[in-house]
Amino acid sequence: MKYNTEEKRLALPEYGRNIQNMVDYCVSIQDREERKRCANTIINIMGNMFPHLRDVNDFKHILWDHLAIMADFKLDIDYPYEIVKKENLYSRPPRIPYGNSRIRYRHYGKTLELMIRKATEFENGVERDQLIKLLANQMKKSFLTWNKESVDDRKIFKDLDELSSGEIVLDEEVHKLTESRDILARNSNNNSKKNYTRKSR
């Protein structure tokens, strides 16, 4: 009896030893047409092993790539797709550059900072006033999401003044933001709904 530990290492263990043996046999077939028919049969068997993945884009293409990998790229057939190259199999994708720009207040986030800067470019008028009011209320919501306690509107107006480099100055007597208790109550209701939905699943 031969143990699996004595067999060669499986390139893709999820397909199992039997599929690997089929692939090895397929590589050894001399007749090219017979080899291609054998490969098609193996692809069908591989596909039947994971029927829940059939809706995945390029599912067939992925199977042919896997077949080539299990054959150690020695299967000489006309592939229906351009398969992955051996030299590219273990190459790392290029590193994604990350923005190094500093976020002044993390609880507001970078997007809100950018929107405030954009608001300073608007001409004075109703549209600018409405946008600033929306931004100030969003700042208050973000602040309360992180701090979970009441916040004075003067703090929001001060931060807005700072983030806009003095371009947006609001008067607390004139500009009224949503009450902290209303925001906290809304957040509490939203969290309760999320928890209820999770338990109902």
**Is pLDDT larger for residue 155 or for residue 172?**
155
Measured between alpha carbons, how far is 85 from 31 in angstroms, rounded to an integer? 24
Measured between alpha carbons, how far is 140 from 163 in angstroms, rounded to an integer? 14
pLDDT at 98: 72
* Residue 108 DSSP class: T
pLDDT at 61: 93
Burial class (CB in 10 A: 0-12, 13-18, 19+), 115: middle
Q: Which two tokens stand for residue 25?
A: 């046999």
pLDDT at 46: 94
Residue range 82-102: average pLDDT? 79
pLDDT at 76: 93
The pLDDT tens digits for 39-77 are 999 999 999 998 888 888 889 999 999 999 999 999 999
The one-letter amino acid code at 196 reads Y
Residue range 139-149: average pLDDT? 82
- Give percent of the chain with pLDDT exceeding 90: 40
> Please, are residues 55 and 36 in contact by the beta-carbon 8 Å criterion?
no
Measured between alpha carbons, how far is 27 from 44 in angstroms, rounded to an integer? 17
Measured between alpha carbons, how far is 41 from 29 in angstroms, rounded to an integer? 14
Angle CA 31–35–39, to nearest 5 = 175
Domain boundaries, the chain: 4-88, 110-181
Q: At what angle do helices 16-28 and 32-49 cross, to 10 degrees?
A: 170
* Residue 55 DSSP class: T
Burial class (CB in 10 A: 0-12, 13-18, 19+), 69: middle
Instruction: Provide the whole-model pTM.
Output: 0.48
Per DSSP, helices labelled H in the chain are 16-28, 32-49, 59-70, 110-119, 126-147, 153-163, 180-200
**Is pLDDT larger for residue 137 or for residue 178?**
137
